[in-house]
Structure 1
Amino acid sequence: MKTILTTTAALALMTGAALADGHAKTIRLGTEGAYPPYNFLNDDGEVAGFEREVGDELCARAELTCEWVTNEWDSIIPNLVSGNYDVIIAGMSITDERDEVIDFSAPYTQPDPSAFVGMGDVDMSSAVIAAQSGTIQASHIASMDGATLVEFATPEETIAAVKNGEADAVLADKAFLEPIAEAEPDLSIIGEDVLLGGGVGLGIRESDGELREKFNAAIQSMKDDGSLNKLIEKHLPGSATF
């Protein structure tokens, strides 16, 4: 990732210069489109969910023209750095490791509980636990004594791994897992919730400081008037508000 950052420095600087000069520019919002309720594709193939509503409102308040693009999770940071889009808005938790490569806006959600889902009682001290690759949940499992991490490219594959016996449990955001556990009679929330990360923020190239500040001001505006809390309550019931 450090190599990618170096080879794309010129492109990133050009992007920042365009913003500084005030030139009209369409800001591309990159998301996964596969992690409800944060982001998903609706029946028309358009990005929907909590982050669609948040992103559209942030762009309006920042007086930015924005468009949505989708990108697979495992390459979402490299493709931001290489200029394929300008912002990541994809349920990405703020972590020190990621902050070494990109910058983050202020958080637009508080740290959200992660939960385990399995098909009955599971001994976590010796369990095989699935997680989406490159997530804070995968890092947490890797640090658990005795547990074995199995990683998958998509969140759907982690659920399938539990159902077909490849894994004893899956760890992911509770807001993602809870509706699945309620809809699947063989699956249930097990064990204690785990609080990970420093909240969810927009990922922005390190060279785009002016863009970051525009979004920070818009996020603060939504916090101040309560509109952000309303969207959290609508899409992420039970999550902490600001």
Structure 2
Amino acid sequence: MTVKNVAEPGQTLIFDADDTLWENNVIFERVIDEFLDWMAHPEFGRANVRSILDEIEAANATVHGYGSKVFLRSLGECVERVRQRVATAEELARIAQWARAFDGHTVELIPGVAETLTELGNRHELMLLTKGDSEEQQRKVDASGLAEHFRSVHIVSEKDVRTYEGLVRDRALVPEATWMIGNSPKSDILPARAAGLNAVFVPNANTWVLEHGALDPADGRVLRLETFGELLRHF
């Protein structure tokens, strides 16, 4: 199957949330910038400390999942790894202050998202699929004001092939008429394609490094766009 310029009405469009509908990782990056400044070390430059942090985050994501709580845990472990000692109470208190950046009371919608969802909802069934801490993700969904656009909202601990296969089964979706739309090759595009769905890749410059991945340029069932609003030209 080759992606057409205009999809027929009545498709099922499944949307990622973080960094697809609203900005998310840029908040983490701002905190990381402050953290790297704070962690100034005579033997470790910023790049080395960031590399250590990325390694710790990857390990913690596998064991503990995603979200700000796991991220703050990773910062504490990074302090101990770099300074080669247990973090002091003062250091842990400094890390705890960064929790305020993730209160979830407001979210910054990506330009054109609300209007695009409104129009797409007139022609297609829309669903939301997001991963992370369920309470934290629900706060963001509520704060976004977008929940009314979706037939259903699904918050999962991981977005892998089994997640997509389970969603297809539980919702009786037709894979050939279903599209996963997101910014993450690792979580949105590659596993959705492996489950037989179509996919739309909408890149975000602030995508988390651990969500990167190589897409097959020859895969005709992956539509690549530059902006969220371009969905209206195809759906």
Normalised TM-score (structure 2): 0.35
TM-score between the two structures when normalised by the length of structure 1? 0.34
Q: Give the number of the structure whose residues are more often strand, by fraction.
A: 1
